[in-house]
Amino acid sequence: MKTTTRDWRIPVAWLTLCVVWSSTWLVIKLGLRDLPPVSFVAWRFVVALLVLLVISSGRTRLLPRRRSDYYVLGLTGVLMFSLNYTLLFWGELHVSSGIAAVIQASIPIFGMIFAHWMLPEEPLRWQRLAGALVAIFGVALICARLLSFNGWLAFLGGLGITFGAAIAAFSNVWLKARRMDLAPSMLAAWQMIFGSIPLVILGFALDGNPLRLHWTMNAILCLLYLAVIGSSFTFLLLYWLMPRMSVTNLQTISLITPPGAIAFGWAFGGERLSLWSLVGAIFVLIGIWMIFRRIAEPKRAVAIGAATRG
C-alpha cells in the first residue's frame, strides 16, 4: 500500500512542476502591468526567501560549513537572482511570455558548454554539441525575428534573456563543481539572500519607496504566486522528486515548460506567435531533446531546476 501511494505521488508532483513552471511566465507578464521589473524581482525573492527559511528552520542545517562557501553562494546568488532574473523580467516587458520561456530554456545548452570546462566528469560529446548548435540556431532565429518585426527593444529583450540564461548556466555549473555539504533548499535560500540585497537597493534607487508602488490586487496576487508557488513550493517539490525519478524523466520538464508557457500565453494572455518564432521555438526544443536524450547519470540531477522555472 505504501508503494502504491508513493508511485501515485511522483507523477502528480512531476505534473505539478510542469504546470506551475509553465504558468509562471504569463504571471510575470501580468505582474509587470503594475510593478517595475527590478522591484518586482526583488520582492518576489524576499518573500520566497522568508518562506524557505520558515520551512527549513529546525529541519536542516542552515549555515554552510566553509567560509569560502559564502563567497561562492554570494557570487552565484548575484548572477542567478540579481542579473538573470532582472534581465528576464525586463525582457518580458518587450517580448511575449512564451518567447521568454523558449529562450530561457537554453540554460542547459550553455550549462553543457560550461560543464565541459569546469566538470571533468561531464565532457562535451558530439551529439550534445550538435543539439546545442540546433538550439542556438533556434534562439538566433527568434531574436532575428524580434529585430525585424518588433524593433530594437524586443531584440534587446530577447538578447538580454539569452545573456541571463548563460549567466544562470554558469552559476549552476560553478555551484555544482563546489559540491557543498548543504541542503538544496538552503543553497537556494542563501543564493536568494545574496541576490536579493542588491535588487532591493537598486529597486529603492530606481523605483522609490516600495510601499508607494502600484500595489493592485493583480500585482499582489502575481507576486505571491511567483514567490510562494513558483519559487518556494516548486524548489521543495523538485528536491523531493530528485531521488525518486530518473534524471531523464525529470529533465523532460525542460521540454514541456516552453510549449506549456506558449499555451498559457495563448489561452489566457492573448499572445500569438509568428510563424518564424514558432519555427525557432521548435529548433530550440529539438536541440534540448538531442542534448538530454542519452543522459542517464544520476549526478546530473542537481542542476535541472534552473532551465524550467520562470
Question: Do 74 and 189 meet the contact criterion of CB atoms below 8 Å apart?
Answer: no
CB 114 within 8 A of CB 176: no
The pLDDT mean for the chain works out to 84
Q: In whole angstroms, what is the distance from residue 57 CA to residue 62 CA?
A: 7
Residue bearing cell 569546469: 118
pLDDT at 150: 67
CA atoms within 13 A on the CB side of 130: 7
pLDDT at residue 149 in the model: 63
Query: CB neighbours of 35 closer than 8 A, spacing ≥ 6?
Result: 213, 214, 219, 222, 223
- Owning domain of residue 256: 2-307
Number of structural domains, the chain? 1
Question: Confidence class of residue 307 from pLDDT cuts 50, 70 and 90?
Answer: very low
Task: Please tell me which residue, 47 or 282, carries the higher pLDDT value.
Answer: 47
Q: What is the pLDDT of residues 180-213, one digit of tens each?
A: 877 777 888 899 999 999 999 999 999 999 999 9
Cα–Cα distance between 222 and 8 in angstroms, integer? 30
Residue 228's pLDDT is: 94
